């Protein structure tokens, strides 16, 4: 259960703990298809980074890809306007939904109200879990509950932690960024293990040089 010292803007750091509960999937990770069953180190680093750079998320529409158990997306949800948290495995998506449901009261309690335009008693309008497989054809992201009109989301920020593994994941990630991110102003933030343990990192760097 990661814990972050959280203060609201303008307040002195009073070391109030901001706890996020994450339940992992209770079955053995036996291959690339279920790496989302575990919480990876990069997501802890990114969750802290989001918290300490929360101003970047104010009023922003955020997409998390390859979310796994959802730690980063759940922390970002405290600070952004709306967020769609995605993965491609059914078991992971169910774990994600569960983790969001147990954290929403804390997201609500911890959020800086001035930066939140959504009402968390109707949180399905601004935090959603969706399936997104970057190896398949992509389609527009929508947000909003069945009670309200679902609307397409222009993505201001994409976040991702430890999603670059083999070279094809670098290709899938860049394809996703190009497809969803708002041109000119959109920003993608990523924390990943380096090329010693993730072959795809060099492929990503090579592709980024060509942009």
Q: Is 65 left (phi over 0), alpha (psi -120 to 50) or beta?
A: beta
Nearer to ligand SAM, 107 or 160 (CB): 160
Q: Give yes or no for residue 110 binding ligand SAM (CB under 6 A).
A: no
Beta-carbon contacts of residue 159 (< 8 Å; ≥ 6 apart): 46, 50, 62, 63, 64, 65, 72, 73, 76, 188, 189, 190
Nearer to ligand SAM, 131 or 151 (CB): 131
Q: In whole angstroms, what is the distance from residue 14 CA to residue 7 CA?
A: 7
Q: Give yes or no for residue 92 binding ligand SAM (CB under 6 A).
A: yes
Count of residues engaged in binding ligand SAM, rule: CB under 6 A = 22
Binding mask 28-67 vs ligand SAM (x if CB under 6 A, - otherwise)?
A: -------xx--xx-xx----------------------xx
Select the span of 5-13, 87-95, 104-112, 178-186 touching ligand SAM (CB under 6 A). Answer: 87-95
Q: Give yes or no for residue 99 binding ligand SAM (CB under 6 A).
A: no
Q: Give yes or no for residue 68 binding ligand SAM (CB under 6 A).
A: yes
Nearer to ligand SAM, 7 or 168 (CB): 168
Select the span of 7-15, 53-61, 110-118, 127-135 touching ligand SAM (CB under 6 A). Answer: 127-135
Least distance (Å) from ligand SAM to the CB of residue 201?
13
Beta-carbon contacts of residue 130 (< 8 Å; ≥ 6 apart): 84, 85, 86, 141
**Contact pick of 18, 120, 134, 189 for ligand SAM (by CB under 6 A):** 134
Beta-carbon contacts of residue 181 (< 8 Å; ≥ 6 apart): 155, 158, 187, 188
Least distance (Å) from ligand SAM to the CB of residue 11?
29
**Contact pick of 50, 100, 128, 163 for ligand SAM (by CB under 6 A):** 163
Residues in the chain: 211
Q: Give yes or no for residue 87 binding ligand SAM (CB under 6 A).
A: yes
Least distance (Å) from ligand SAM to the CB of residue 14?
29
Beta-carbon contacts of residue 82 (< 8 Å; ≥ 6 apart): 61, 62, 118, 125, 126, 127, 143, 153
Interface residue list for ligand SAM (CB under 6 A): 35-36, 39-40, 42-43, 66-69, 87-89, 92, 132-135, 161-163, 172
């Amino acid at each position: 259960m990661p814990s972050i010292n959280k203060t609201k803007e303008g307040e002195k750091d009073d070391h109030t703990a901001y706890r996020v509960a994450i339940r992992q999937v209770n079955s053995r990770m036996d291959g690339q298809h279920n790496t989302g069953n575990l919480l990876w180190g990069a997501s802890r680093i990114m969750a802290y980074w989001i918290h300490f750079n929360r101003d970047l998320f104010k009023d922003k529409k955020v997409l998390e890809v390859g979310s796994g158990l959802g730690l980063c997306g759940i922390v970002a949800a405290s600070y952004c306007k709306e967020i769609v948290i995605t993965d491609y495995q059914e078991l992971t998506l169910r774990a994600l939904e569960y983790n969001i449901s147990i954290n929403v009261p804390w997201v609500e309690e911890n959020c800086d109200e001035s930066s939140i335009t959504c009402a968390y008693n109707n949180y399905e309008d601004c935090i959603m879990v969706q399936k997104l497989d970057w190896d398949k054809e992509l389609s527009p992201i929508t947000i909003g509950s069945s009670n309200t009109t679902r609307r397409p989301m222009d993505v201001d920020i994409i976040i991702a932690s430890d999603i670059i593994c083999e070279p094809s994941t670098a290709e899938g990630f860049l394809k996703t960024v190009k497809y969803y991110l708002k041109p000119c102003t959109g920003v993608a933030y990523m924390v990943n293990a380096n090329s010693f343990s993730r072959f795809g990192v060099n492929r990503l760097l090579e592709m980024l040089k060509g942009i």
